A and B are shown apart, each in its own frame.
Chain A
Amino acid sequence: MSVTAESNELRDDVLNGLQLSGQLERVWRTPSGLVGALMSVDHKIVGRRYILTAFAFLLLGGILAMLMRVQLAGPEQTFLSADKYNQIFTMHGSTMMFLFAVPVMEAFAVYLVPLMVGTRNIAFPRLNAFSYWMFLFGGCFLWISFLFNVGPDVGWFSYVPLSSLQFTPTKRADVWAQMITFTEVAALAVAVEIVVTVFKLRAPGMTLDRIPLFVWAMLVTSFLVMFAMPSIMVASTSLILDRLVNTRFYDASSGGHPLLWQHLFWFFGHPEVYIIFIPGTGMASTILATFARRPVIGYPVVILSLIGTGFLSFGLWVHHMFVTGLPQLGAGLFTASSMLIAVPSGLQIFCWLATLWDGRPVYRTPLLFVIGFIVIFVIGGLSGVMVASVPIDTQVHDTYFVVAHFHYVLIGGAVFPLIGAVYYWFPKIAGRMLSERLGRWNFWLAFIGFNVAFFPMHFLGLIGMPRRVYTYTADMDWAHLNLLSSIGAFVFALSFALLLVNVVYSLRKGALAGDNPWNGSTLEWATSSPPPPQNFDRIPVVKHRDPLWADSESLPVIAGLSAERREVLLTSLAEAEPQTREASSEPSIWPLLTAIATTVFFIGSIFTPWAVLWGTPPMAVTLIGWFWPSGSKEDEE
């Protein structure tokens, strides 16, 4: 089709070597200067910003955690007032869940998935840029509100009727609810981009059973995001409507019900845990294969486990509501369904253990974090089985036992692999290695600090300490364990300080990485570190699940893509057969402008319903600007 019109186009089959690299770089690079930076649609630049921003929120959320641990280190401390404490624990939970854990996983996917599937940019690069701006603005909105003492104080779960207008007459609950809208818009956009990138932009030959495990994990995660987050969007929207225009969703005296909120919240909230955890398993599988020097045993088992976990995760939300007075038999069935999710998680762990048994492990920092992850996560999984039991849950629900449990799951299951991933992919992103010496210190401080901080909390819960209390009396016998926990928390915090030092130091002084410092098997290691704007000079052809191990001498590639405009190769869903050469977006300022217009709309609409009226036209204008053809050549065929 239309080949004649383009026959004089410059293609990558007539260029070679540096000439080709230089030409592609000119086409794919982000314009220089501040405006250029704001226009960037390069998944690596956006991904890097996403990662850095998410880690900045981790730092902020971590500082809040430390403030809480100071307050709780002894009985009847007055370091924080009740009001500040309630804001702080709400901000800690909301920041960690919505501004760190979910975004950081998606951020890694934004950076890595296009490289790992062997393409030049993510699907819908402008949507990707928009998503980042929404995330940034939503996070800033929450934190600026907090600094002005309008930070939410009703918990990251924001149960009604406490968060209703009657009991929270200030804007604090609105800030929370609208921050949800911001971050969900961002998360949903990335989820769709990842799905389409994996479905359509895979390198030729990367059939479904050759997709790297991290990419599989992010694909499953993206589907979870797409099907879980609409629930919290409906919930937060109806909460704002209840507060702003007096709808009655949660008003028991007008036919509403407070438990409706809990159903909607946990229908999202439980899959949320797996949205955070599944990417962690993908990171763990990747790191394990590289450092055990063999592919993960049971690749199909791992994938089926991921998919199984994804499906099961939608059938467990009720176990967050065992003490709300639901029918007993129903609750009992949710016990069984909740515990069953241990089976796919267990299968993955068995596959990893078998991989380690048969491998020749090289104990570098990323692998240490994965081993720490297994040790810690199994504890979290097993305490999860306890929490899933109705009778046990009636005792431990809303106590420090649960605080211990989910930190074992989330920090053990997601943050440990994540830090491992930072050590593993930092050389690719920055071009330099992180210090191994600091890395070991980092790991041991994190491992010891974490366990000292959180293991005692199991006991605190069992001996009666509820969650979300800003203080406790001296006669409750909770002081010693709390002090121990606070000490552990500071050691744990220190490990993150070391990570920061390591990153800052290594950015300038670290050893140069080269293309493939760990001898990894996946495609991101087939290009330079950091990768050029076009990712690959020529799109690789995949003939094996571990392409760089199978073809260690020479990489099969395809040619024929344009070298004078942005073009990506689309392949078929299952077999990854080349289908079309589709244009990929040029840099554009419109995503940023659209995000600004949307931000004005969102913030306005917690103050007045009329924001819907005056907030829509600017959004419409910016969206038209975004999609209107620029008149450049690739837009005009």
Chain B
Amino acid sequence: MRQTIVRNVAELPTYGYGPRSGPWWGAMGFMALEGMGFAIAVGTYLYLYAIDPNWPIGAAPPDLWPGTTEAVVYLLSIIPNEITNRAAYRQDLAKVRTGLVVMSLIGIALLVLRGFEFAHLNTRWDNSAYGSIVWLILGLHTTHLATDVGDTVVLAVLMFTRHAKPRRFSDVTDNVFYWNFVVLAWLPLYALLDWVPRL
């Protein structure tokens, strides 16, 4: 088939930020399906809650302090996260490095806190269906937390190597974006796990 060139796109940039980039949409897609996973887990919790009047089954509600502390740390972490984001858009390597290191440390702190939270759930996974779903939901969120922390650490290391090229800043913004999802997912889960048993 004959071809007629109607336009030249040579002037277009070779990477973009946000909705202009492919990986951003990929992250969006995975967030959507993971969000659905959380929704299903929450639905499971509410189903079990609805069929058993003695909630929480054979256990005291979880201690409040670990989950609450986490919620506060998560909310505060949005600030350095956003600072990192802006630095990445400005392609300010020094600030991005600092931001990623800070975010890695916050993530690791949250993982430690999460350990305490498991210890203060006041139920085991095999005590009852209540214990099972609480451990499942917390485990699910911990998996997301751990994955993102791992991703942040690797990216932080990457930014200290010779690979810290401009297009990596787009990866940084995607990482920031995903962290917001981890934070956003925690808030309803926190309310569900720590407050619903107290209703």
Chain A residue nearest to B133 in the complex (CB): A249
Do residues B4 and A555 form an inter-chain contact, with CB atoms below 8 A? yes
B residues in contact with A247, CB < 8 Å: 125-126, 129, 131-132, 135-136
A555 interface neighbour in B3, B16, B154, Cβ under 8 Å? B3
Do residues A582 and B126 form an inter-chain contact, with CB atoms below 8 A? no
Do residues A558 and B8 form an inter-chain contact, with CB atoms below 8 A? yes
Please tell me the number of chain A residues within 8 Å of chain B, measured between CB atoms: 77
A residues in contact with B48, CB < 8 Å: 249, 255-257, 260
Do residues B5 and A581 form an inter-chain contact, with CB atoms below 8 A? no
Determine the distance from Cα of A238 to Cα of B47 in the docked complex, in whole angstroms. 15
Determine the distance from Cα of A1 to Cα of B6 in the docked complex, in whole angstroms. 22
Q: Please, what's the 1-or-0 string for B3-39, where 1 marks a CB less than 8 Å from any CB in chain A?
A: 1111111111111100111100110011011101101
A residues in contact with B165, CB < 8 Å: 629, 635-637
Do residues B22 and A260 form an inter-chain contact, with CB atoms below 8 A? no
A residues in contact with B154, CB < 8 Å: 624, 627
CB interface residues, B 23-75, toward A, < 8 Å: 25-26, 29-30, 32-34, 36-37, 39-41, 44, 47-48, 51-52, 54, 57
Shortest Cβ distance from residue B170 to the other chain A in the assembled complex, whole angstroms: 9
B residues in contact with A620, CB < 8 Å: 150
In the complex, A123 has a CB within 8 A of chain B:
yes
Q: Please, what's the 1-or-0 string for A527-543, where 1 marks a CB less than 8 Å from any CB in chain B?
A: 00000000001100100
Which of A164-172, A188-196, A344-352 interfaces with chain B?
Answer: A188-196
Do residues A256 and B33 form an inter-chain contact, with CB atoms below 8 A? no
B residues in contact with A579, CB < 8 Å: 12, 16, 20
In the complex, B166 has a CB within 8 A of chain A:
yes
Number of inter-chain CB pairs below 8 Å: 212
In the complex, B128 has a CB within 8 A of chain A:
yes
Do residues B26 and A196 form an inter-chain contact, with CB atoms below 8 A? yes
Do residues B7 and A238 form an inter-chain contact, with CB atoms below 8 A? no
Determine the distance from Cα of A246 to Cα of B126 in the docked complex, in whole angstroms. 6
Do residues A582 and B14 form an inter-chain contact, with CB atoms below 8 A? yes
In the complex, A328 has a CB within 8 A of chain B:
no
Do residues B2 and A555 form an inter-chain contact, with CB atoms below 8 A? yes
In the complex, B112 has a CB within 8 A of chain A:
no
Do residues B6 and A637 form an inter-chain contact, with CB atoms below 8 A? no
Tell whether A226 pairs with B29 under 8 Å between CB atoms, given A256-B129, A569-B9: yes
Do residues A241 and B125 form an inter-chain contact, with CB atoms below 8 A? yes
Chain A residue nearest to B10 in the complex (CB): A560
B33 interface neighbour in A188, A204, A264, A573, Cβ under 8 Å? A188
Tell whether A629 pairs with B163 under 8 Å between CB atoms, given A191-B29, A557-B6: yes
Chain B residue nearest to A584 in the complex (CB): B22
Which of A188, A255, A526, A578 has its CB near the most chain B CB atoms (within 10 A)?
A255
B residues in contact with A237, CB < 8 Å: 136
B residues in contact with A249, CB < 8 Å: 44, 48, 129, 132-133, 136
Determine the distance from Cα of A260 to Cα of B154 in the docked complex, in whole angstroms. 39
Do residues B132 and A227 form an inter-chain contact, with CB atoms below 8 A? no
Do residues B9 and A560 form an inter-chain contact, with CB atoms below 8 A? yes
In the complex, B90 has a CB within 8 A of chain A:
no
Do residues B30 and A582 form an inter-chain contact, with CB atoms below 8 A? no
Do residues A241 and B136 form an inter-chain contact, with CB atoms below 8 A? yes
Chain B residue nearest to A232 in the complex (CB): B40
A residues in contact with B14, CB < 8 Å: 1-2, 6, 567, 580-583, 634, 637
In the complex, B1 has a CB within 8 A of chain A:
yes
Tell whether A196 pairs with B22 under 8 Å between CB atoms, given A2-B14, A558-B5: yes
Tell whether A526 pairs with B1 under 8 Å between CB atoms, given A200-B22, A247-B126, A573-B19: yes
Do residues B2 and A192 form an inter-chain contact, with CB atoms below 8 A? no
In the complex, B158 has a CB within 8 A of chain A:
yes
Do residues B29 and A195 form an inter-chain contact, with CB atoms below 8 A? yes
Chain B residue nearest to A527 in the complex (CB): B1
A580 interface neighbour in B16, B26, B51, Cβ under 8 Å? B16
A residues in contact with B6, CB < 8 Å: 541, 556-558
Do residues A234 and B37 form an inter-chain contact, with CB atoms below 8 A? yes
In the complex, B130 has a CB within 8 A of chain A:
yes
In the complex, B86 has a CB within 8 A of chain A:
no
A residues in contact with B9, CB < 8 Å: 558-561, 569, 578, 581
Determine the distance from Cα of A196 to Cα of B32 in the docked complex, in whole angstroms. 13
Do residues B25 and A199 form an inter-chain contact, with CB atoms below 8 A? yes
Query: Which secondary structure dominates where chain B touches chain A?
Result: helix
Which of A230, A554, A631 has its CB near the most chain B CB atoms (within 10 A)?
A230
A124 interface neighbour in B26, B131, B132, B166, Cβ under 8 Å? B26
A560 interface neighbour in B2, B12, B57, Cβ under 8 Å? B12
Do residues B12 and A578 form an inter-chain contact, with CB atoms below 8 A? yes
Shortest Cβ distance from residue A399 to the other chain B in the assembled complex, whole angstroms: 29
Which of B4, B14, B37, B128 has its CB near the most chain A CB atoms (within 10 A)?
B14
In the complex, B198 has a CB within 8 A of chain A:
no
A residues in contact with B30, CB < 8 Å: 192
B residues in contact with A613, CB < 8 Å: none
Q: Please, what's the 1-or-0 string for A221-261, where 1 marks a CB less than 8 Å from any CB in chain B?
A: 00000110111011001100110011111010011110010
A248 interface neighbour in B19, B25, B128, Cβ under 8 Å? B128
A559 interface neighbour in B5, B16, B57, B163, Cβ under 8 Å? B5
Tell whether A227 pairs with B52 under 8 Å between CB atoms, given A192-B26, A569-B9: no
Q: Please, what's the 1-or-0 string for A98-130, where 1 marks a CB less than 8 Å from any CB in chain B?
A: 000000000000000000000000011001000
In the complex, A553 has a CB within 8 A of chain B:
yes
A residues in contact with B36, CB < 8 Å: 226-227, 230-231
In the complex, A210 has a CB within 8 A of chain B:
no
Determine the distance from Cα of A44 to Cα of B30 in the docked complex, in whole angstroms. 24
Chain B residue nearest to A227 in the complex (CB): B36
Tell whether A13 pairs with B4 under 8 Å between CB atoms, given A234-B44, A255-B128: no
Do residues A230 and B128 form an inter-chain contact, with CB atoms below 8 A? no
B residues in contact with A553, CB < 8 Å: 2
Residues of B bordering A, CB below 8 Å? 1-16, 19-22, 25-26, 29-30, 32-34, 36-37, 39-41, 44, 47-48, 51-52, 54, 57, 125-133, 135-136, 150, 154, 158, 163, 165-167
